[in-house]
Amino acid sequence: MPVSGACLCGAVRFEAAVPPRRVTHCHCEMCRKATGAAVATFATFESSKVRWSCDPARYDSSDRGWRGYCPKCGSSLCFGYKPRPERIYIAIGIFDNPGEFPAGFHDNRGSKIDWLHVDDHLPDVPQG
DSSP state of 113: -
Which CB, 3 or 76, lies closer to Zn ion?
Answer: 76
CB of 68 to Zn ion, least distance (A): 11
Among positions 3, 16, 23, 31, the unique one binding Zn ion when judged by CB under 5 A: 31
Q: Tell me the Cα Rg of the chain.
A: 14
Which CB, 74 or 102, lies closer to Zn ion?
Answer: 74
Which stretch, 43-51, 62-70, 83-91, 97-105, contacts Zn ion (CB under 5 A)?
62-70
Indicate whether 11 belongs to the interface with Zn ion (CB under 5 A). Answer: yes
Among positions 3, 70, 78, 103, the unique one binding Zn ion when judged by CB under 5 A: 70
Q: Exposure string (b/e) for 93-107, b if CB count within 10 Å is 16 or more? A: bbbeebeebebebbb
CB of 54 to Zn ion, least distance (A): 10
Task: Measure the CA–CA gap between 91 and 121, rounded to whole angstroms.
Answer: 21
| Residue 35, CB-side half-sphere exposure with 13 Å CA sphere | 24
Indicate whether 57 belongs to the interface with Zn ion (CB under 5 A). Answer: no
Which CB, 1 or 123, lies closer to Zn ion?
Answer: 123
CA angle 26-5-87, nearest 5°? 50
Which CB, 18 or 37, lies closer to Zn ion?
Answer: 37
Q: What SS3 class is residue 7?
A: coil
Task: Measure the CA–CA gap between 1 and 58, rounded to whole angstroms.
Answer: 28
Q: Which residues bind Zn ion (CB under 5 A)?
A: 7, 9, 11, 26, 28, 31, 70, 72-73
